[in-house]
Amino acid sequence: LTTKDLAGEHILITAGPTREELDPVRFISNHSSGKMGYAIAKAARRRGAAVTLVTGPTCLTEPCGVATIQVTSAEEMRQAVMAAFPASTIIIKAAAVADYRPVARAVAKIKKTAGSLSLELEKNPDILFELGKIKADKILIGFAAETGDLLDNAAKKLTVKNVDMIVANDIGAEGAGFNVDTNIVKLLFKDGRVEDVPLMGKQELADVLLDRAVKLKGR
């Protein structure tokens, strides 16, 4: 039985890594596979939402019935997210956005020399932070990928980024985080509540996250 409990909602989801290019052949990125974000997009579609998925480069197949926008860099992801934001009612940011990018992208391949090489990096825009400032009554859900002090760091992100819920991911735990089919998370809410979600498949977790989004919406 499929419940269309998200009918009428427009859910914007981000997934995957971003790539920040150094030159025509090299980039800075991370281990995100896109599995978590794509799982949420599929579940949201199945439950009747109109879904826009903004995704960095992954090996995954675009989900059926989902408006998928492929991007590469954080700046491209920002532009796509900002364009889709006004029409959306719920935003879930599972993407692993690179915090830094090279100050300049070399036009030609950077040549190997005898010495060492230093890269100068500058900060990327924090898309979730920007959305937090303009969210109004939209439901905004962020992730926090941490290797230590999980609850403290996630709680800071909840407040600073002004989101309704943070999905805190201890990416050092077995069966959690990047490029696996399962996850283990804690959900942090504005009223101080923390909910432990045990090890489960990312597809199953996607439904748990959408259940909480439905509650936050007061549906």
- Binding residue numbers for CTP: 99, 109, 125-128, 143, 157, 161
Active-site residue flag, 183 = no
| Structure tokens given for 188 | 């942090």
User: What is the distance between the alpha carbons of residues 3 and 65, in angstroms, rounded to a whole number?
Assistant: 17
Residue placing its CB nearer to ligand PMT in the complex, 5 or 208: 208
Check: CB of residue 18 under 8 Å from CB of residue 77.
yes
Check: CB of residue 5 under 8 Å from CB of residue 48.
yes
- Give the one residue of 157, 187, 209, 213 binding ligand PMT; rule: CB under 6 A: 157
What does DSSP assign to residue 61? P
- Give the one residue of 74, 90, 150, 158 binding ligand PMT; rule: CB under 6 A: 74
Q: Does 179 bind ligand PMT (CB under 6 A)?
A: yes
Check: CB of residue 148 under 8 Å from CB of residue 158.
no
Q: Does 68 bind ligand PMT (CB under 6 A)?
A: no
In DSSP notation, 24-86 reads TTEEE-----SHHHHHHHHHHHHTT-EEEEEE-S-SSPPPTT-EEEE--SHHHHHHHHHHHTT
Q: Does 95 bind ligand PMT (CB under 6 A)?
A: yes
Q: Does 169 bind ligand PMT (CB under 6 A)?
A: yes
- Give the one residue of 145, 188, 209, 213 binding ligand PMT; rule: CB under 6 A: 145
Residue placing its CB nearer to ligand PMT in the complex, 48 or 200: 200
Residues within the interface to ligand PMT (CB under 6 A): 14, 16, 32-36, 74, 93-97, 99, 124, 126-128, 142-145, 157, 169, 171, 177-179
Residues taking part in catalysis: 30
